Each structure stands twice: as C-alpha cells, then as structure tokens.
C-alpha cells in the first residue's frame, strides 16, 4: 500500500511537458473558456500558423518553461526595441511567483537585472557604433 502511494505521488510530480511528449501515455486535459478566449486562441493559431489547439498548448508550454527557467536564474524576460533603444520587461504573476521560488544565490535578482540592463544598453551602443562605422546592420543574439 505504501509503495502504491509513493508511485501516485511520483506521477503527480512528473512535469506536464514530459507527459505531453510521452507518446505511449496520454493524459486528456479540458478547459472551460469564454467565447472571447476561444476566439483569442484561434487568432493566435492563425497568426502562428498552428493547425491544432494541441500545437498551441505545446508552444505555450515551451515558452513558459523557458521563461520560468530564466526568471529562476535571476534574469528578466523583455522585448528589445533596437530602433528606439529601449526594452519592456514582461510582468506576469506566474513569472513573479517563479522568481520568488528560485533558490537564492550570492547576487540578488535586482543586482542581476541591473547588470542585464547595463549589458543591453552597452550592446545597443556597440551596435550603433558599428552601424555608424560600417553603414550596415549586423544583427546579433545576446544571451545572458
């Protein structure tokens, strides 16, 4: 009996993405959504070229898992506008909770975020200098 309870607890702790990727075992999940939410999902599917709601959920899980990993590492998720030389940080209750639940290291999340902002500003400045000297754009992907 005790072994059965342990197995049940282990199944509950299995990551949802692992269950979705497991081709031999399927778990059916259903949601009740307002018509406006369904319309928003369908619009996202069209914009992203996704054929099924399952594809949409898989893509959403992928980006949420990535975002959670980043904020737990003390990073911020942001949209960078190179033309205007600014960025906008994504604020979501789920990501804020994930950041709070992260193991604490030697640097605070505020210190890491400050360093990241400085790195983005420096990269924008460097790109601007390169553009001025070469006359051509050389896009780069930064990860921190």
What is d(CA 67, CA 30) in angstroms, rounded to the nearest whole number? 24
- 89-97, long-range: CB < 8 A, 24+ apart: 94/64, 94/68, 95/67, 95/68, 95/71, 96/71
Q: What is the pLDDT of residue 139?
A: 46
Q: What is the pLDDT of residue 107?
A: 57
* pLDDT tens over the chain, length 144 residues: 444 444 444 444 555 556 556 567 888 889 899 999 999 999 999 999 999 999 999 999 999 999 999 999 999 999 999 999 999 999 999 999 999 998 876 455 566 667 767 777 777 777 777 777 765 444 444 444
Q: What is the pLDDT of residue 133?
A: 73
Handedness of CA 64, 70, 73, 74 (dihedral sign): negative
Contact 87, 120 (CB under 8 A): yes
Tokens at 53, concatenated: 């709601």
Say whether pTM exceeds 0.75: no
Q: What is the pLDDT of residue 143?
A: 43
Segments of the chain assigned E as strands: 78-81, 86-89
What is d(CA 9, CA 82) in angstroms, rounded to the nearest whole number? 47
């Amino acid at each position: 009996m005790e072994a059965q309870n342990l197995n049940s607890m282990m199944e509950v702790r299995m990551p949802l993405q692992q269950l979705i990727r497991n081709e031999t075992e399927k778990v059916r999940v259903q949601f009740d959504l307002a018509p406006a939410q369904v319309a928003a999902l369908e619009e996202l599917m069209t914009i992203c070229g996704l054929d099924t709601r399952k594809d949409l959920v898989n893509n959403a899980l992928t980006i949420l898992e990535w975002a959670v990993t980043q904020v737990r590492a003390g990073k911020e998720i942001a949209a960078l506008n190179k033309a205007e030389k600014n960025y906008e940080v994504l604020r979501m209750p789920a990501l804020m909770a994930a950041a709070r639940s992260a193991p604490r290291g030697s640097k605070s999340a505020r210190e890491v975020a400050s360093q990241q902002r400085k790195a983005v500003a420096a990269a924008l400045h460097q790109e601007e200098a390169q553009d001025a000297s070469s006359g051509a754009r050389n896009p780069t992907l930064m990860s921190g």
